[in-house]
Amino acid sequence: MVGRALRRMKGVCRGDGQQAHRPGGQQARRPRAPRPRALLGPYALLWFYLRWLRRHFLAELLAGVGVAIAVALVFATIVAAGSVSGSSTQAVHTVIGPASLQLHARSSAGMSDGLLTAVQRLKGVRSAGSLLETTATLRAANGRTASVDLAGAGTSLVFLDGLARTIPSTTLSAQGVGLSARTAHELGIGGPSTAPPGRVEIYVRGKSVSAPVSAVLGQEAFGALSQTSVAVMQLAQLQQLTGLHGRLTRVLVQPRRGQGAKVRAELTRLARGRIDVAPADQDVKLLSQALRPSNEASALFATVSAMLGVLLATAALLLSAPERRRMITELRLMGMRRSAIVQMFAFQALLLGAIASAIGVACGYALSSTLLSQSPRYLAEAFTLGAQTTLALAPFLAALATGVLSCVIAATLPLLDLRSNDLLRDLQREPGIPGNALPARARRSQDAIALILLVAASALFVADRSFALLACTLLALATVCGVPLALSAVIAAGARLSRWRQRLTALPVALSSLQATSVRSFALAATGAVALFGSVALGGARADLAGGIAGFARSYAADATLWVGNRGDDQAVVEFAADDLPARIAALPGVTRVARDGGAFVVLGGRRVWMIARPRNAARHVLASQIVSGSVALAQRRLAQGGWVIVSRQIAEQQHVRIGGRLRLPTPSGDVSLRVAALSSNLAWSPGAMFLGSAQYARLWDASGTGHGTTALAVSLKPGASARRAAARIRRLLGPSSGLAVRTGRGLRASIDTLTSEGLGQLRQISNLLLIAAIIAMAAALTSAVWQRRGALAGLRLCGVRPARLRRILLTEAGLLLSAGCVTGALAGVYGQAIIDGYLGKVTGFPIAAISTDARALEIFALVVIVVFATTCAPIVLASRVSPSYALAD
Amino acid sequence: MSLLSIDHVQLLDPHDSQRLLLDDICLQLDGGELVAVWGKRRSGRSSLLRLACGLLQPRSGVVHFDGRRLRGPSKIGDGIAYCPGGLHVGEAWSARRELVEVQLARGVPRRKAIARAHAALERAGAQELSERLLRSLRGAEQVRVMLALALTSAPKLLLVDDVVAGVSPIERKPILRLLRSLADEGLAVLSSTDEAPALAGADRALTLSDGRLHGRLAPELAEVLPLRASAGT
């Protein structure tokens, strides 16, 4: 290589030495030796890189894949997280149009429609529109169902210049229901077919009615709402269907210019403290708050994944570090200047980074709209959610910077050699294979750095759990720096074993090979360590979160054997007219008790809080498992007394209230002051949750006198009674026209589990992708390392070593590397899992299961080791059969 | 049958399938014999040795070793030792350690491997080089250690390519004497060279030219140093 490169260099510098003869008889100057330029030309840069690629394509490809994975994860997560809030914001603005204020009912029973007239009469009001909104389940003739926000819009909304302006007039005609394109798609209605959409069954507030589909509303008629789960019908029809005659849930108000404050004051007067007066786009802020925990959790996962991707890329580039170091020596011996070498390395890093980042962005976009697409269906009962992928410049730039920077940092590490004035001597003096040995001093430094980083990570986490990301980063770096120590320990143990068992002849050879190529060994083991660290930490933390939520779902559903409520209303927040139904159910054989549960969403401190009201002893299990501070028994007694409330720790912190302190709660009967009986988790509802005594709930929420207030019936059975038979009897009692569904505790739990696991889908996909990336990275790194060693293996074959022996040696070596790297990574990963658990607990407020509940770290370790080992077997077998002639050809 | 028997072998040039590199080669070699093959560059000397150890397969003709037909390099390390010119193994550790590790790689238990390495280095006159880094050895030092490495497998046939390449004239004689003494101990040695002095001490000296092996020495080698026996196949 030196000779050719030298010629190339001379070619590059051709202009310098060609002035020996001059025309006109002038005295010819003595030709001077060509002096290399300070910087290389573009052709020379490309030539060197192509030459490098020809020899190290696999290593370069591996590094590129690592960078692309990191970039894809960063890009996909940012885009996916932004898409839900972005498209939901568009949906909110489509509904409100030019309105800037709203009156929002505090109960699903709504407020009197007389308020609309009163608002329209206010002097500063330019226009006002009304809506009645409720959660409903639609069922198509083909049996497919969809949970939707069912909105009743009146003609007033047309005057507001909002949503109704663009909707075809037939949509709001009597007896028809218009479906958003997304809802129609979910139900399997519409599409390219010109056939009429047919009818749908609407289950709402305990009733069931069939209605024709008047239109499927696409982008042109419904704007951003077309991509949300929404159905719309005429206001009067929905009022009749729900039994909410003369009721509204929202009045949207457009004040005249400069009259906003005055109108707001007038609205507050009209509300009399029983209705929320808020900005019309209040939902945007509430949704943003609700999504923040999951977005922050996703961001943490993505950042940790990206960091691990960068480390994987660094480890991959480190595999070719010995060759890069040798190349630097050769180029210096040729006389190439330091600046030119730096330029060449920077060029190669930038090119690799740019190409890998571009691929990463493309993959990230595909991921953001498929695997990592957020499914916030668990928030759908409280918000109108969009699902369109929206793009912005910032994520693109962030992803590109991640990729290019990681390449530059990783590829230019060998440039540290340029500090020396006698590279060749330094390289030859090193023990092991020249350029491939990690000096003892560097190893000692790494051990010290690992220890310092570990201590720093622990200190940061203990100081404040918000520093989890930084602590994780330090821990990952500590893991990488700690690899040489683990490797030394494995080698020492192996050496003792081989001395003890003289017949273990492959082991000492494998150990010696690891020692001789310590940079390569370090890179391979570090790849394993980083991969395991990420997989165990992120996978474990996600599993703990899912475990905690599953525990909540189990306890939430365990408080009754059977649950009667609106279809799809897992959170029991949609009221229905229970009338004498509890008494009739209680009279059925096998039933011991029927409790009326209540629930609602309450806007408190910028959060849409989930409020649960159950009678005494009807929330035994859920409280016992979810109270994080305070006495369970005392809290239950106080709830039953009235005047007390149990709130999520996050709400208490936000409201600066402790147990025994007072909290002001907005209710349909006006604001009331309640004392905090205990603190709970968020019950897997990110904005927060609270428990209220059912008697107090009935007083405060049934102020309208509609007689509703019930959101679920909790049915307890006699010991030994069949839940299936009891459910069948209740269904018969309800009759075919009922919109209520009867579910067993197990069914409700499964439904909540499904929803929450969809909510955690993004985290699951990130950790799964990381695990796959880890396996690919490890397998590719080992394959690349084995393949690069064919020359040395051929040399051994020339000495009479049989392929079977080479296989045994290579497998032993792979096993040692895997165990050193993966054990280090798994141990650090468990620590990382604890840090991330702490962070998730703080950010989401969700219940988190304890780490010790499963052997996940061990499972991941076994999975990675087995799959990587199995994947590497083929290249090992092929490499071991290398012809001895290969050593001669080389 | 001789220990090594090459009968009417033809070999195509691995780099040019149209060119016949070796043609109608016949050679018999027994234990205790030292045969040197002289040829110019690209005459096929190295290919002849690789053919003799099964690294190359003939187009026609057969190669027998120890009474069995050679179909591949399976006898390397099991009766045949091949020393190509220059290092082809280990550049990380000392000569002794490399010798021990190659034997461990072959499956020889550690104690036995250490003893064999020690004996081989001593036999090759390289005991003072045992702690030197293999990659730091030059010329005769390297040849001696490579010969020691070959001896660790206790071969019957030793193939030495370009035996004195890179060795200073003053150090050649001891190397050639070493080969002679190995043959005297019963080892069959086939060496190749492109330098006339390297034929010294051989029982037979053969010339390889135009792809054929000649029993007569080339005229320019007529005055070459006393051979142990006259030329002949």
The pLDDT tens digits of the residues spanning A772-807 come to: 877 887 888 788 788 878 888 998 999 889 999 999
pLDDT at B159 over 90: yes
Closest CA to A570 of A707, A711, A681, A708: A711
Helices (H), A97-179: 114-121, 156-159, 163-166
pLDDT at A730 over 80: yes
Residues 23..52 of B with a Cβ closer than 8 Å to A: which?
50
Q: Nearest residue on chain B to A503, judged by CA atoms?
A: B109
Chain A touched by B15 (CB under 8 Å): no
The alpha-carbon gap from A843 to the nearest alpha carbon of chain B, in Å, equals 53
- Tell me, yes or no, if the pTM score tops 0.90: no
Chain A touched by B82 (CB under 8 Å): yes
pLDDT at A44 over 90: no
Q: Report pLDDT for B119.
A: 94
The alpha-carbon gap from B79 to the nearest alpha carbon of chain A, in Å, equals 10
Range A753-778 average pLDDT: 77
Q: Report pLDDT for A430.
A: 62
The Cβ of residue A877 has, within 10 Å, a number of other Cβ atoms equal to 16
Name the more confident of B31 and A164: B31
Least confident of A110-124, A771-785, A800-814, B122-136: A771-785
3-state secondary structure at position B4: strand
What does residue A416 show for φ and ψ, rounded to 5 degrees? Answer: -60, -25
Which residues of chain B neighbour A802 with C-beta distances below 8 Å? 77, 106
Q: Report pLDDT for A34.
A: 61
Q: Nearest residue on chain B to A518, judged by CA atoms?
A: B92
Q: Which among A431, A506, A795 is the nearest to B88, CB-wise?
A: A795
Interchain proximity A433–B111, CB inside 8 Å: no
The Cβ of residue A160 has, within 10 Å, a number of other Cβ atoms equal to 23
Interchain proximity A795–B90, CB inside 8 Å: yes
Q: Report pLDDT for B223.
A: 56
Chain A touched by B57 (CB under 8 Å): no
Closest CA to A875 of A813, A821, A801, A795: A813
Name the more confident of A344 and B136: A344
When the pLDDT of each residue in chain A is averaged and rounded to a whole number, the result is 82
Q: Which among A509, A517, A802 is the nearest to B104, CB-wise?
A: A509
Q: Report pLDDT for B218.
A: 58
* Residues belonging to chain A with any Cβ–Cβ distance to chain B shorter than 8 Å: 428, 431-434, 498-499, 502-503, 505-506, 508-509, 512, 515-517, 792, 795-802, 805-806, 809, 883-885, 887-888
Q: Do A865 and A814 form a contact (C-beta atoms < 8 A)? A: no
Q: Which among B77, B109, B136 is the nearest to A502, CB-wise?
A: B109
The Cβ of residue A384 has, within 10 Å, a number of other Cβ atoms equal to 23
Interchain proximity A505–B89, CB inside 8 Å: no
| CA geometry: angle B36, B42, B47, nearest 5 deg | 60
Interchain proximity B105–A432, CB inside 8 Å: no
Least confident of A331-345, A698-712, A862-876: A698-712
Interface test with A, best of B15, B56, B71, B89 (most A CBs within 10 A): B89
Chain A touched by B111 (CB under 8 Å): yes
Q: Per the structure block, which two tokens stand in for A623?
A: 């409280």
CB environment B197-220: b (16+ within 10 A), e (fewer): ebbbbbbbbbbbeebebeeebbee
Chain A touched by B92 (CB under 8 Å): yes
Q: Report pLDDT for A810.
A: 93
Q: pLDDT tens-digit profile of A607-659?
A: 999 999 988 777 778 888 888 898 989 998 998 888 999 999 989 999 999 99
CB environment B168-183: b (16+ within 10 A), e (fewer): eeebbeebbebbbebb
pLDDT at A107 over 50: yes
d(CA B41, CA B62): 25
Name the more confident of A883 and B219: A883
Q: pLDDT tens-digit profile of A685-697?
A: 888 999 998 888 8
Question: Alpha-carbon dihedral of residues A790, A794, A800, A805, nearest 10 degrees?
Answer: 10
The alpha-carbon gap from B146 to the nearest alpha carbon of chain A, in Å, equals 10
Query: Phi-psi region for residue A305, left (φ > 0), alpha (ψ -120 to 50) or beta?
Result: alpha
Q: Report pLDDT for A390.
A: 67
d(CA A149, CA A134): 6
CB environment A697-733: b (16+ within 10 A), e (fewer): bbebbbbbebebbbbbbbbbbeeebebeebbebbeee
Banded model confidence at residue A68, pLDDT cuts 50, 70, 90:
confident
**Residues composing chain A:** 890
Q: Which among A508, A515, A883 is the nearest to B104, CB-wise?
A: A508
Closest CA to A796 of B124, B155, B56, B73: B73
The Cβ of residue A121 has, within 10 Å, a number of other Cβ atoms equal to 10
DSSP A280: T
Range A806-827 average pLDDT: 90
Q: Which strands, in side-by-side order, build the sheet including B4-13?
A: B16-29, B4-13, B60-65, B68-69
Closest CA to A211 of A191, A185, A240, A188: A240
Percent of chain A with pLDDT over 90: 17
Percent of chain B with pLDDT over 70: 91
Percent of chain A with pLDDT over 70: 86
Q: Report pLDDT for A6.
A: 43
d(CA A145, CA A305): 36
Q: Report pLDDT for B152.
A: 92
* E strand or H helix at B65: strand B60-65
pLDDT at B202 over 50: yes
Q: Do B49 and B161 form a contact (C-beta atoms < 8 A)? A: yes
Which residues of chain B neighbour A796 with C-beta distances below 8 Å? 89, 102, 105
Q: Which among B50, B55, B105 is the nearest to A796, CB-wise?
A: B105
| CA geometry: angle B173, B175, B179, nearest 5 deg | 115
Q: pLDDT tens-digit profile of A482-538?
A: 988 998 899 999 989 988 887 888 899 899 888 888 877 888 888 888 888 888 888
Banded model confidence at residue B217, pLDDT cuts 50, 70, 90:
low
Interchain proximity A512–B97, CB inside 8 Å: yes
Q: What is the number of H-type helices and E-type strands within chain B? A: 5, 10
Q: pLDDT tens-digit profile of A405-459?
A: 878 877 777 777 777 666 556 556 666 666 667 777 888 888 899 999 999 999 9
Interchain proximity A799–B77, CB inside 8 Å: yes
Interchain proximity B110–A801, CB inside 8 Å: no
Interchain proximity A505–B104, CB inside 8 Å: yes
The alpha-carbon gap from B159 to the nearest alpha carbon of chain A, in Å, equals 12
